[in-house]
Amino acid sequence: MSKIKVMSELLSNKIAAGEVVEKVVSIVKELVENSVDASSTVIKVDLKEAGLREIVVTDNGIGMDSSDAALAFQRHATSKLYTDDDLFSISSLGFRGEALPSIAAVSDVELKTCQNDIGTYIHIKGGKILESKSSESRQGTQIKVTSLFYNTPARLKHLSSPYAELANVVEYINKMALSYPSIKFKLTNDEREILNTDASGSLLKVIKSIYGLDIAKKMLEIKASNDDYEISGYISLPEVNRSNRNHMTVLVNGRVVRNQALNKTINDAYSSFKEDTRYPIVVIKIITDPSLIDVNIHPSKQDIKFSNFDDLKNLISTVIEDTIKTKLLIPKIEIKNEETPKYENLTLNLERNTISDNDEVKEDTKSRLTNLVNFNYEPNNDLDVEEESKEASEEEYIEELPTEKLPELYPIGLALGTYIICQNEKGIYLIDQHAAEERINYEKNSHLLSHPNNDVISPLVPIIITLPTNDYLKVKEREDILTSLNIQIEEFGVNSFRILSHPTWFPKGREEEIVKKILEEIITKGKDFNLAKFNDNLAKLISCKMSIKANTRITIEAEEEIISKLRKCKNPFNCPHGRPTIIHFTIHEIEKMFKRSL
């Protein structure tokens, strides 16, 4: 007797539902995308108990007639693809024809739709049509989903908590609102409004609706293009960041996508401006010919493949870096407006929101700031910083430095052995001495790595490094990388190398540590090794090792030298790891803290 049988359509739909309908947000996603494809200008999503009890999606799109409404619940029935060629130029969000039958197979669905003033009502449960009739005419379509996974209890058991399910839905609707600012999106849960956009077409307004005014003020607009791709959108200043990647929104031809390589490219573009463990808020729209992308690689349609992907990554990386560099500012201490008691004899200039010029208090404050007491500690003779000899390569580096970006600063002391206190006519500045020197050394070392010379030195005490056989072979295969870095090695026994010479600018006493880090990078990356990225990471590592540490007391002369060099850096505002090097307290902010100004 034959054991192989063709499964029923209902069973196959339940299996397909396992790929398409995983949780509440999966249903919301499929229904909202259908609404967008139906040319809707208003899409409303109403949930009860985070969608676990009821999901209602209502739109004002083109709707369906009675025959199309019934056919829509058959598997692989679609209005978006007709021929094989259509698969290579997909412009709609949906196209598989699996969503509605998959949803209906595991839930109770009620559909109300209208086309040409003729309304249709269909009730389907567990994949079986229970009722089909005429209904009132209302522009668009409404789909209500209840009893989710009632016939697949194992799937029902593994749904997340209402809070987690709602969070997923909110995140998705936020991204759709960002993708289509000309569509009005309204999301409610248990009749409580969560999101309501105005369909004005302004992406920045949608960002404000989602993240608030303070974040919207710190978003930078980007725009760039090449032969294949056009990108636009907004990116946050480096100081605005989050602990996860959920706020990195990438939209391709209006489709919300998740692509790890793109997210990594975006985050790497921020690498010199923020900490590695923090992620920016970005909304990047990518427009391209549909033939250059493939969205048919997963039922969720959220992953995507690109043609000429390297060109796209370079375009995104370049525009982000260039935009941030033109907008970098010294972080300031923000003082929230509070009710301030009225003082006698204080007159306000409302246009400048400061105390008027003839006010004695303001002059007194200026005087106090100008004559601050010098808080310098006595230097520790054991920690005197030796002057480094000026090599020819370093002199060349100094000549190429850009014009100064920081104002003239006058050091007046050292706080906590770590922060240089400075002042000028604009207020007080705190400089992190380690972060500042890291930035100075990083830009110098980056220059030296990109403009290598032949200045090498042989270690007095031989450096011997032994590796496992597989790692040893990987290093042997990429020995050219070491040669390009002016590191000469030779075989020394079994699976061992002896370092014959290395660049003179390696930090003294840390040569072996640096070489081991280099070998570790070569072994880890293998064929994916990128010399430019490697040089950048190496410059960061060496710069950290070379820089003065926190809790180290230095002389006023050393402070002045750090400030002078920092002012000549291309980016004096952040260390290579993204931490700020300097923070500014304006005179007005200080006066507000001491209640001297309103």
3-state secondary structure of 409: coil
- Residue whose entry in the numeric block shows the structure tokens 């100008």: 370
The boundaries of every CATH 3.30.565.10 domain in the chain are 9-196
Cβ atoms of 548 and 437 within 8 Å: the answer is yes
Q: Which residue has the higher pLDDT, 337 or 430?
A: 430
End-to-end CA distance of the chain: 91
Cβ atoms of 576 and 273 within 8 Å: the answer is no
Q: What is the pLDDT of residue 7?
A: 59
Pick from 85-99, 320-334, 453-467, 584-598: least confident: 85-99
Distance (Å, whole) CA 268 – CA 273: 10
- Residue whose entry in the numeric block shows the structure tokens 């409004």: 193
Convert the pLDDT of each residue in 205-261 to its tens digit: 999 888 888 888 889 999 999 988 999 999 998 888 887 888 889 988 888 888 888
The boundaries of every CATH 3.30.1370.100 domain in the chain are 453-546
Percentage of residues in the chain with pLDDT exceeding 90? 17
- What 8-state DSSP symbol labels residue 574? B
Distance (Å, whole) CA 103 – CA 155: 13
DSSP for 32-71? HHHHHHTT-SEEEEEEEGGGTSEEEEEE-S----HHHHHH
> For the chain, what is the mean pLDDT?
77
Which of 3.30.70.270, 3.30.1370.100, 3.10.620.30, 3.30.1330.20 is the CATH number of 453-546?
Answer: 3.30.1370.100
Read off φ and ψ for residue 216, nearest 5 degrees: -60, -35
Q: Which residue has the higher pLDDT, 342 or 321?
A: 321
Q: Which residue has the higher pLDDT, 477 or 85?
A: 477
Angle between helices 203-211 and 162-179 (to 10 degrees): 160
pLDDT for residue 501 is more than 80: yes
The boundaries of every CATH 3.30.1540.20 domain in the chain are 360-446+551-593
**360-446+551-593, what's its fold?**
formyl-coa transferase, domain 3 (3.30.1540)
Bridge pairing between strands 192-196 and 582-586: unpaired
Identify which of 132, 141, 142, 106 has the alpha carbon closest to the alpha carbon of residue 22: 106
User: With bands split at pLDDT 50, 70 and 90, how would you rate the model's confidence at 77?
Assistant: low
User: With bands split at pLDDT 50, 70 and 90, how would you rate the model's confidence at 135?
Assistant: confident
Q: What is the pLDDT of residue 10?
A: 57
Distance (Å, whole) CA 112 – CA 145: 12
CB within 8 Å of 398: residues ≥ 6 apart: 568
Question: May I ask the CATH class of domain 9-196?
Answer: alpha beta
Convert the pLDDT of each residue in 293-327 to its tens digit: 876 555 555 567 788 888 999 999 999 988 887 77
Distance (Å, whole) CA 533 – CA 524: 13
pLDDT for residue 534 is more than 80: no
- Convert 104-125 to b/e letters by CB count within 10 Å (16 or more is b): bbbbbbbbbbbbeeebbbbbbb
pLDDT for residue 13 is more than 80: no
Mapped to the 3 state alphabet, what secondary structure does 500-525 carry?
EEEECCCCCCCHHHHHHHHHHHHHHH
Structure tokens given for 129: 């049509």
Q: What is the pLDDT of residue 388?
A: 41
Q: What is the pLDDT of residue 76?
A: 56
DSSP for 419-460? EEEEEETTEEEEEEHHHHHHHHHHHHHHHHHHS----EE--S
Read off φ and ψ for residue 222, nearest 5 degrees: -125, 150
Write the single-letter amino acid at 581: T
Q: What is the pLDDT of residue 347?
A: 36
Q: At CA 218, angle to CA 598 and CA 581, rounded to 5?
A: 85
The boundaries of every CATH 3.30.230.10 domain in the chain are 203-327
CB within 8 Å of 174: residues ≥ 6 apart: 195, 210, 249
Q: Which residue has the higher pLDDT, 506 or 350?
A: 506
3-state secondary structure of 326: helix
Distance (Å, whole) CA 67 – CA 105: 20
Element (H, E) at 578: none
Pick from 495-504, 533-542, 571-580: least confident: 533-542
Average pLDDT score over residue span 361-376:
42
pLDDT for residue 482 is more than 50: yes
Angle between helices 309-327 and 260-269 (to 10 degrees): 30
Strongest mean pLDDT among 185-189, 437-441, 591-595: 185-189
Average pLDDT score over residue span 386-410:
52
Identify which of 176, 126, 125, 156 has the alpha carbon closest to the alpha carbon of residue 51: 156
pLDDT for residue 354 is more than 70: no
User: With bands split at pLDDT 50, 70 and 90, how would you rate the model's confidence at 115?
Assistant: confident
Average pLDDT score over residue span 587-594:
85
CATH architecture of residue range(s) 203-327: 2-Layer Sandwich (3.30)
Q: What is the pLDDT of residue 389?
A: 39
Q: What is the pLDDT of residue 376?
A: 40
Pick from 76-85, 301-310, 561-570: least confident: 76-85
DSSP for 82-143? -SGGGGGS--SS--SS-HHHHHHHTSEEEEEEEETTEEEEEEEETTEEEEEEEE---SEEEE
CB within 8 Å of 523: residues ≥ 6 apart: 467, 471, 474, 475
Q: How far is CA 66 from CA 37, 118, 156, in A?
A: 19, 8, 32
Q: How far is CA 315 from CA 90, 222, 236, 266, in A?
A: 24, 11, 18, 10
Write the single-letter amino acid at 541: L
Q: What is the pLDDT of residue 22?
A: 77
Q: What is the pLDDT of residue 330?
A: 62
Cβ atoms of 271 and 310 within 8 Å: the answer is no
Average pLDDT score over residue span 341-352:
36
Q: Which residues pair with residue 142 across a beta bridge?
A: 58, 112
Percentage of residues in the chain with pLDDT exceeding 70? 77
Convert the pLDDT of each residue in 18-48 to its tens digit: 456 778 888 999 899 889 988 899 999 999 9
- Residue whose entry in the numeric block shows the structure tokens 């597989």: 470
User: With bands split at pLDDT 50, 70 and 90, how would you rate the model's confidence at 183?
Assistant: very high
Structure tokens given for 20: 């398409």
Read off φ and ψ for residue 528, nearest 5 degrees: -85, 10
pLDDT for residue 180 is more than 70: yes
Q: Which residues pair with residue 221 across a beta bridge?
A: 234
pLDDT for residue 365 is more than 80: no
Element (H, E) at 328: none
Cβ atoms of 472 and 495 within 8 Å: the answer is yes
Average pLDDT score over residue span 93-108:
74
Q: What is the pLDDT of residue 450?
A: 74
Q: What is the pLDDT of residue 395?
A: 42
